[in-house]
């Protein structure tokens, strides 16, 4: 199996943090920022009114880094923002570059979002 690059390990750590917060919903989850800066991971969902699918930004409330996932199920009760806007108090998020690790034998097309 090929070794992950630093970029792939960084992306994977963010994805795993996202999964922890997502799976705990609607309960709050105290998931530390993968950057190790003392911040916590927050989720902002985007979609169409009444829709159950959309996108999400997982981001740190301290360093403002994060990842964007383009196809997610939106949990019932989640605050959903239109695709062209977001919460007024959310800072600008610096998205880390996408780096998807594909294990040997994987095709890369697997649905990676819970």
Residue showing tokens 């930004």: 57
Q: How far apart are the first and last CA of the chain?
A: 24
- The answer to whether residue 78 is domain-embedded is yes
- The answer to whether residue 79 is domain-embedded is yes
- The answer to whether residue 11 is domain-embedded is yes
59 DSSP β-pair partners: 42, 66
Q: How many CB atoms lie within 10 A of CB 73?
A: 15
Residue range of the domain that includes 53:
6-84+91-95
- The answer to whether residue 59 is domain-embedded is yes
Q: Which of 24, 79, 76, 77 is nearest to 46 (CA)?
A: 79
- The answer to whether residue 112 is domain-embedded is no
Q: How many residues does the chain have?
A: 114
pLDDT digit string (tens) for 58-95?
999 999 999 999 999 999 999 999 988 888 888 889 99
- The answer to whether residue 108 is domain-embedded is no
As for how many domains the chain has, the answer is: 1
- The answer to whether residue 31 is domain-embedded is yes
Helices (H), the chain: 6-24
Q: How large is the average pLDDT for residues 7-33?
A: 95
Cis preceding-peptide flag for 26 (omega within 30 of 0): yes
- The answer to whether residue 114 is domain-embedded is no
Calculate what percentage of the chain has a pLDDT beyond 90: 64
Whether the Cβ atoms of residue 31 and residue 40 lie closer than 8 Å to each other: yes
Statement: residue 111 has pLDDT above 60: no
Q: Is 65 helix (H, G, I), strand (E, B) or coil?
A: strand
The Cα–Cα gap between 20 and 29 comes to 7
Residue showing tokens 């997610």: 72
């Amino acid at each position: 199996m090929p070794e992950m690059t630093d970029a792939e390990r960084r992306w994977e750590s963010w994805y795993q943090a996202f999964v922890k917060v997502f799976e705990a919903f609607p309960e709050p989850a105290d998931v530390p920022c993968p950057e190790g800066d003392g911040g916590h991971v927050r989720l902002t969902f985007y979609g169409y009114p009444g829709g159950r699918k959309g996108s999400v930004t997982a981001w740190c409330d301290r360093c403002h880094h994060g990842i964007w996932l383009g196809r997610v199920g939106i949990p019932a009760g989640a605050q959903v923002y239109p695709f062209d806007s977001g919460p007024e108090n959310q800072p600008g998020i610096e998205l880390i570059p996408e780096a998807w690790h594909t294990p040997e034998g994987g095709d890369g097309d697997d649905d990676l979002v819970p």
